[in-house]
Amino acid sequence: MQKILIVDDEPDIVTLITRYAQRDGYEVRSVGDGSDAVELCLKESFDIIIMDAMMPDMDGFTASRKIREFSDTPILMLSARGTEYDKLFGFEVGADDYVTKPFSPKELMARIRVILRRHQSAPKKNNDNIKISGLEIDTLGHNVIANGEKLELTAKEYAVLLYLVKNKGIVLSRDQILNEVWGYDYFGDDRTVDWQIKLLRSKLGSCRSYIHTIRGVGYKFEA
């Protein structure tokens, strides 16, 4: 039985998600604060974390960042704030998906299934290193080094970069990137790709120029 951790300080939200999750056969644990979530994740393993963004004591953004220091458990972030900045920040701290309140519980459960399938079917790491004009990707350790500096990339930023690099010189549409990195049954839109590219470029330094925007189409990696 797969385990879901719900982190939210609103009892009605916790009850709603719990009801649907248990009906779908998941084991559910819940806490009402980010600090409690971090502490619990240090002790127990979960298949996915549903993390509210705004909570007392420790918010969901901070808790997600701390959890990412020791775990790659998928995180689906919930928030009443749906601005581009909030979504970008959610992805920056390691969220795999971002859902704005109010939400459809049926859609939420569908997103959970998609994330779990994607996480469980992730390909095994290989031992190939990729080196291109000052950029080095260690595919075994999922490390990226740009001009001698190790970058701190989220799982999605890394996956987007790797996909672009492996298709060097080829124009990839937003839909192609979305389908490759998030999966064909992902419920988001192609703006998610733009947000991740924006975050990725901000970390690549001078190597950011290798990612070219092809207006009206998508992106191309070319060093």
Pick among 1.20.120.1810, 3.65.10.10, 1.10.10.10, 1.10.3260.10: CATH of 129-221: 1.10.10.10
Alpha carbon distance 166, 169 (integer Å): 9
Q: Is 150 helix (H, G, I), strand (E, B) or coil?
A: strand
User: Quick one: CATH architecture of 3-120?
Assistant: 3-Layer(aba) Sandwich (3.40)
Is residue 80 within 8 A of residue 69, CB to CB? The reply is no
Total Cβ atoms within 10 A of residue 183: 14
State both tokens at 129.
Answer: 């290193």
Nearest to residue 142, comparing CAs of 133, 216, 156, 134? 156
pLDDT given at position 145: 92
- At 149-184, the pLDDT tens digits run 999 998 889 999 999 998 988 999 998 998 888 875
Is residue 194 within 8 A of residue 215, CB to CB? The reply is no
pLDDT truncated to tens, each residue of the chain (223 aa)? 899 999 999 999 999 999 999 999 999 999 999 999 999 998 888 999 999 999 988 999 999 999 988 888 999 999 988 788 888 888 888 899 999 989 999 999 999 998 998 877 654 444 468 888 889 998 878 889 998 899 999 888 999 999 999 898 899 999 899 888 887 566 666 688 898 999 999 999 999 999 999 998 999 999 8
pLDDT given at position 1: 81
Structural domain spans, the chain: 3-120, 129-221
